[in-house]
Amino acid sequence: MVRDSLLKAPKERKILVVDEDADSREIILEPLRWEHYDARGVSSGTEALKLMETWVPNVIILDWMIPGMSGIQILQAVRAQHPHVSCIFISGNSSTESIIEALDSGADDYIIKPFVPLELLARIRTHFRIRDLHTQLLFANERLKELVDTDDLTGLFNMRSLYQRLEFELERGKRFGREVCVIMMDMDYFKTVNDGHDHLFGSYVLQEVGKIIKANTRNIDIPARYGGDEFLVVLMEVDHRGAMLFCERLRKAIEGRTFANGADSMNLTTSLGFAITVPGENIPARELVRRADHALYESKHAGRNQTKFYTPETDKVRELRPKPAAPRKKASGG
């Protein structure tokens, strides 16, 4: 995105000239055409705003006095709808008060007539450099947000961003009476991957599992790596049957996949558990995840490579079981 912006051809740079006088307008447009900019001219603010409904320029060049709608009024109207368009005044009005008013109103530059065409072109190039730097900054910020929100290995959401999104979806589901489903998924006997192969192969397997999860989720769903070889998927607007179908489709996709990388190759299975809200239910995100995790525990206890769903009995049965000597480690995948 940044590179495309920096290498953008002049013909892709759009400039609009607004000047009532046809001769003055042509004097401005001529040097712009030397540089092969996509330059267009109109005689009034009304024409300019109408054109901008379908063609938004990067730079607008305005005269100070335009009948019907002054340059300042056009500037304010443009800023309200397109805040990132650069606005340059070219005017015979050289009073200090007018220059200050224009710049304080949001203009990016003020050039006094008569102007030197080469100077005008230099100033426009400067504005495009500023635009490109702004684009780079937006791109860098977007990339930084992606790095903060996603898991480095799989490209799925991480736990931090997952809970923020889940809280939002639960609130939305409660407001509109829609179900929200949380699925916990854990690779069966993943410890054997690292024991029988190097850790690079284990990372490869997790990356491929992430791809399988992505391929089976919709844009509105939230796939995340929960930790180690454990994954979590949030499904929106899905009922119990739809959630079960999704889990089984995902389970079979992993079961039918041979993970092969170089000399290493093996087949794996996965266990899944899900919990789904009752429409209008007021439940915290962590509680819904806890329910899905208990259902996953039931899948593991029942023999692995299957899907279980949460019921109130799930909690009761687990409470009666003796607690293990050490907590289950998510990274082991046992």
Q: How many CB atoms lie within 10 A of CB 143?
A: 12
Q: Is 19 assigned a catalytic role?
A: no
**Residues near 293 by beta carbon (within 8 Å), at least 6 away in sequence:** 184, 273
Q: What is the rounded distance in angstroms from the CA atom of residue 53 to the CA atom of residue 157?
A: 37
| Amino acid type, 76 | Q
Residues, the chain, total?
Answer: 334
- Give the H/E segment covering residue 14: strand 14-18
8 A C-beta contact, residue 74 and residue 66? yes
8 A C-beta contact, residue 186 and residue 333? yes
Q: What is the rounded distance in angstroms from the CA atom of residue 53 to the CA atom of residue 37?
A: 20
The catalytically annotated residue of 108, 188, 229, 293 is 229
Catalytic residue annotation: 229
